[in-house]
Amino acid sequence: MNRRDFLVKSTLASSAILTSDNITSNPIFIRNEKPKSVIIIGAGFSGLAAAMKLKSEGIKVTILEARKRIGGRVFSNQPAKSNSQVIELGAEWVGNSHERVIELCNEFGLKLENNQFESDLTLGGKYSQAGKWSFSPDMQKFWDNKVTIWESMSEEQRKKLDKTDWWRFLSQQGVSSNDLLLRDLMDATDFGESIRHTSAYAAFAEYAESSEKNEMDLKIKGGNATLAEKMAENIGKENILIDHTVQIVKQMGSNGVSITCSNGKTFNADKVICAIPTFSLLKIDWQPGLPNLMKDALHELQYARIGKFPVVFSEKFWKRDDFDMLTDTPAHYFYHGTKNQSGKTGVLMCYATGDKADVLASVSKSQRLDIIIDALKPAFGNVSKYVTEDLMYYWGQDAYSSGAYAFYGKGQWFEVMPILKEPYENVYFAGEHLADWQGFMEGAINSGEEAADNIVGNQ
């Protein structure tokens, strides 16, 4: 049983808990007849996918988006000094197993390009090229056998993993301190926080069930936001209202839902799909209020602190198109952000997570650039002469998500997520935080389509 099947089973098992706990004061209705109209809160990939699905069922859709753009945490950008090259300030990778994203790209005629990298390492000031550094034999043996180990585990054993963190689980396998440091550097780039806080279940499931490169395989040519544009065209841009922040959601039983935005406009529909991060969801005035269990779960779930600090260089001194590098500095991780793109200039993306992202976001612009340049010195010497522009987008301070993507700590996978997936009266919920894997466009799309299917009774 893979993670998705296991999650569905666990969600079904927990549904009765949420309902019975709130049945008197906060009645929850799962589904009525097929609606004629649906309002979707959020024009990220989850909201866009839900709208496409509902439109194909002949249902009238309206998307209300608080930002002044669509795409949510998919945020393609052209730095001023990069000669029209495109980088991703948000979601970056499409995995080889991401069937829906790949299908949609094929449907819309978008090209997917290889975005895999071979990792160099700087540790303790010592630089090692890809292939010149490694884990210990014991760690490598465990990693080579991880799929077999995972598949041999019973459901109860897997569920027990959620009670501990990934760092502690690995240490119990006899992993050395150096191996733990390397795994923390590597795996924190996936989860956005230290593996000392990451659920061992969430980590083991992802690594055992993902592609060889952990789904860091592909990227959409021209920017991932081109897919958002194509989806919006399919929905009809007249049905997507940007700069519309939802303020009040009033449920009226069989009469549907009334929504009021901060600009004073009101909208009515039979059903609603709320496809926004929990940070924004909690700012809405829900009438009646959300069930207590759901509110507790919303407050409990945290989002990863991830910052992207791209630097535009006048030339690609790193030479290799597939260059990336882990470091034990606050700069954390570098990768070639303009891979496959022509031109003399190039962008190295400095990607930091957790406390490191906080540090880079809090220091001055000049201090941040010094930290980044210093982290590159063991590999390339002083490359400051090549700098033409440096940027920053810190998702930990994003006004709408207050984080990059959902981070499930120990004890949360089977206790928090099932509650957040439950519909509440006429409102259904979607988003990458409710997907089987966090932080991927694929998960957001799957979640949006699942919510749409639930509304029309396809599941």
pLDDT one-digit tens code per residue, 53-100:
999 999 999 999 999 999 999 999 999 999 999 999 999 999 999 999
Cα(195)–Cα(183) distance, integer angstroms: 8
For residue 29, the model assigns a pLDDT of: 44
State the Rg of the chain over Cα. 22
pLDDT one-digit tens code per residue, 260-298:
999 999 999 999 999 999 999 999 999 999 999 999 999
* pLDDT for residue 251 is more than 70: yes
19 or 315: which carries more pLDDT confidence? 315
* pLDDT for residue 18 is more than 90: no
Sign of CA dihedral 213, 229, 454, 274: positive
Judge contact between 104 and 446, C-beta under 8 A: no
pLDDT one-digit tens code per residue, 359-414:
999 999 999 999 999 999 999 999 999 999 999 999 999 999 999 999 999 999 99
Map residue 311 onto helix, strand or coil.
strand
Structure tokens at 222: 């021209």
- Say if strands 306-313 and 387-390 run parallel, antiparallel, or are unpaired: antiparallel
DSSP string, 42-102: --BHHHHHHHHHHHHTT-EEEEE-SSSSSBTT--EE--TTSTT--EESS---B-TT-HHHH
Write down the domain spans for the chain.
Answer: 3-67+224-302+408-456, 137-209
Cα(205)–Cα(441) distance, integer angstroms: 18
Q: Which band of pLDDT confidence, cut at 50, 70 and 90, is reported for residue 214?
A: confident
The closest of 411, 397, 415 to 298, measured between CA atoms, is 415
Map residue 373 onto helix, strand or coil.
helix
Residues 6+ apart with CB under 8 A from 52: 231, 234, 235
pTM of the complete model: 0.93
Topology of the domain covering 3-67+224-302+408-456: FAD/NAD(P)-binding domain (3.50.50)
User: How far from the centroid of its chain's Cα atoms is residue 138's Cα?
Assistant: 32
For residue 437, the model assigns a pLDDT of: 84
Question: Residue range 220-231: average pLDDT?
Answer: 98
Residues 6+ apart with CB under 8 A from 20: none
Q: Which band of pLDDT confidence, cut at 50, 70 and 90, is reported for residue 212?
A: confident
Map residue 188 onto helix, strand or coil.
helix
* pLDDT for residue 158 is more than 50: yes
* pLDDT for residue 459 is more than 50: no
Name beta bridge partners: 307.
352, 394
For residue 399, the model assigns a pLDDT of: 97
